[in-house]
Structures are given as structure tokens and as C-alpha cells.
Amino acid sequence: MKKQVLIALMMVCSIMISNSVEAKTITNDYNVESVKTKNTVSPFCMAIVKGDLETVKKMIELGSDVNKKSDGMTPVMYASRYNRTEIIKVLVKNGANLKTKTDKGYTALKYAELSNAKEAIELLKTMS
């Protein structure tokens, strides 16, 4: 009885193995292009997003443009979106323009409102 069960198991295993070996490779004539994405947010704006005030100050000192858009947004828009009030103050002190708009027509205040950044909203309203 044990031999019959063992033989039956061996047969099932061999059938399974032979079926998996017979798998076919299917090819097609579609041209597939790989899509590469590039992080277009500047290091200056990434420091703002992360809330790294000291790095932001140093980068301004080294010549970073406080009004240069990165991925369509100005640095003050990033600061507003992520509720970075201390960074907003530093940017404005160094000449950031609060009235600049994106292609969508959004200002820094609009980004603060969209992300419900309450402290940034209040600060921007007093600065406008």
C-alpha cells in the first residue's frame, strides 16, 4: 500500500514537472519604450519641503534665487504648501514675490489654502 501511494505521488510530481517544462514563451511585436522620470524639484525647494531652515538660509547666502520656479512652483509656494512659516519669513525678507502665479494661476496663499496650512495662511494674509 505504501509503495502504491509513493509511486502515485512520484507520477503526479513527474507530470507536474513535465507540464511546467513545456511552458511556451509568447512574444509580440509591440514596441515598448521605457519611461524615465526625473525629479525636477530643486535641492533648494527640497530643503524647504523638509523644513531645513539652516540649509535654506545657507543656500540663499550662497546665491539661490528665492523666486526661481522648480517644477512650476516658487520656493515660497513650497514653503506655503508645507506650512513652513519661518522659511516663508526668510524667503520674503530675501525678496520672494508672493504675487507670482503658477501655470494654474495659483499663488503661495492658494497653495497654503489647498493644503490647509493654517499658520501659513495667516502669515501670508498679513504680508499681502
Q: Give the residue from 92, 93, 101, 99 showing the smallest Cα distance to 69.
A: 101
Count of residues for the chain? 128
Q: For 93-101, what is the mean pLDDT?
A: 97
Distance CA 112, CA 77 (A): 8
* SS3 state at 6: helix
Q: In the predicted model, is pLDDT for residue 68 greater than 60?
A: yes
pLDDT in tens, 24-54: 555 556 665 655 556 589 999 999 999 999 9
Distance CA 98, CA 30 (A): 49
What are the helix and strand counts (H, E) for the chain? 7, 0
What CATH number does domain 43-127 carry, 3.20.20.80, 3.90.950.20, 1.25.40.20, 1.10.287.70?
A: 1.25.40.20
